[in-house]
């Protein structure tokens, strides 16, 4: 892959703040107020709710599940962090406002000086990217973790698109492979409505990463080259509803986790599958989304595999409430929370033992 060329010759991992120790009193839920993009209303020119991450946190606080003191504050990924996956050429291209306007699909950014674009648009995305990397390590340490942002699955090492400027999923897995002993295989379960062509391009020739991708076959990006990386491909039709969808989620997530012994699951939990989403083209109810997340977390817990969830796409104002409701349901079901990991093994030996023998139309926008 082309992005490897710029990253050759690294003999040992660089020094990073993203793996700093986290107090045991904190839940492995990662967030920072800087996730939210607000700048002169320009964020409203894309259907993405650029403040949804803060709304999720607000709802979780209202339900007294979290406080400011018991969640993990995300740190911004530095250029050196990003260069673990991204080419220097790509990082330099982001210093052109035209490039960022194209990636984020917010045309007026073209006319802004790049220092403003960096501060108001790219810094929030770098902070979310740092949050995903942090949550990857937390998932290994605690058995589960949720980054309330992230899931930029259209970005690869040398190109962005669909509101995705940094390859946080690839970065998280590469950080784990390089820095955490015992993490040598990963499974990506991508249930956003769109194909996750970014991480697919990055891991096209990497047998350590098993990719399951379930998406609307008729919408962006339609990346045939990237599809070659998908080990379990589930292509959905317009308007797929709960019953068929949830049956396929359970069948294929179980199947994916039975295919290889995995040390970490990265779960891309896009809510653009919601009925009425302007870009997703599927017809899943709020209750269906909550149940979907429960199915995936339950499959991970049964096998003792650490799981990291990122929130990815979702283009309606009500998606923040649904994400919060899903997190609360995971807690009620005993799948997350301090009690969820007590007595739960997250070692690869347990995973190995437990897995033996199982075998929108017309829109000019794309999407996360």
Distance from C-alpha of 276 to C-alpha of 283, rounded to nearest angstrom: 7
Distance in angstroms (rounded) separating the CA atoms of residues 115 and 95 = 8
CA distance 284 to 112: 38
Residue 24, CA distances (Å) to 193, 297, 305, 337, 349 in order? 35, 21, 20, 12, 24
Is position 154 annotated as part of the catalytic site? yes
Q: Tokens 């339950």 correspond to what residue?
A: 298
CB 87 within 8 A of CB 104: no
The dihedral region occupied by 304, where left means phi > 0, alpha psi between -120 and 50, and beta the remainder, is left
d(CA 164, CA 189): 18
**Under 8 Å between Cβ of 351 and 305:** yes
Choice among 46, 153, 154, 331 that is catalytic: 154
Structure tokens at 223: 């990346």
Sheet with 232-236: list strands edge to edge: 72-73, 29-31, 144-147, 307-310, 264-268, 186-190, 209-216, 232-236
Buried b (16+ CB within 10 A) or exposed e, 241-266: ebeebbeebbebbbbbbebbbbbbbb
Catalytic residues: 154
């Amino acid at each position: 892959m082309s992005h490897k060329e710029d990253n050759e010759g690294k003999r040992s991992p660089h020094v990073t703040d993203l793996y700093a120790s986290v107090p045991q009193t904190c839940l492995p839920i990662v967030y920072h107020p800087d996730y939210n993009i607000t700048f002169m209303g320009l964020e409203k020119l894309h259907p993405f709710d650029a403040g949804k991450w803060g709304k999720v946190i607000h709802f979780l606080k209202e339900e007294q599940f979290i406080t400011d003191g018991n969640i993990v504050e995300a740190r911004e990924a530095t250029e050196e962090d990003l260069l673990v996956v991204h080419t220097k050429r790509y990082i330099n291209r982001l210093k052109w406002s035209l490039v960022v306007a194209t990636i984020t699909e917010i045309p007026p950014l073209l006319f802004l000086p790049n220092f403003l674009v960096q501060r108001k648009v790219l810094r929030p995305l770098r902070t979310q990217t740092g949050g995903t990397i942090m949550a990857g390590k937390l998932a290994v340490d605690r058995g589960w973790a949720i980054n309330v942002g992230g899931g930029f699955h259209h970005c690869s090492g040398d190109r962005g698109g669909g509101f995705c400027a940094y390859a946080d999923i690839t970065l998280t897995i590469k950080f784990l492979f390089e820095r955490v002993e015992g993490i040598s295989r990963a499974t990506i379960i991508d249930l956003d409505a769109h194909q996750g062509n970014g991480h697919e391009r990055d891991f096209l020739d990497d047998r350590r990463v098993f990719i399951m991708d379930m998406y609307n076959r008729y919408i962006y990006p339609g990346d045939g080259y990237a599809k070659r990386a998908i080990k379990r491909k589930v292509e959905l039709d317009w308007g797929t509803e709960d019953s068929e969808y949830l049956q396929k989620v359970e069948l294929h997530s179980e199947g994916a986790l039975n295919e290889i012994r995995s040390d970490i699951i990265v779960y891309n939990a896009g809510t653009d599958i919601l009925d009425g989403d302007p870009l997703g083209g599927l017809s899943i109810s709020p209750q269906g989304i909550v149940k979907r997340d429960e199915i995936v977390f339950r499959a991970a817990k049964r096998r003792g595999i650490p799981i990291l969830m990122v929130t990815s796409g979702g283009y309606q104002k009500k998606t923040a409430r649904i994400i919060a409701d899903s997190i609360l349901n995971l807690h009620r079901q005993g799948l997350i929370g301090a009690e969820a990991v007590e007595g739960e093994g997250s070692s690869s030996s347990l995973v190995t033992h437990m897995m033996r023998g199982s075998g929108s139309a017309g829109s000019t926008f794309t999407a996360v």
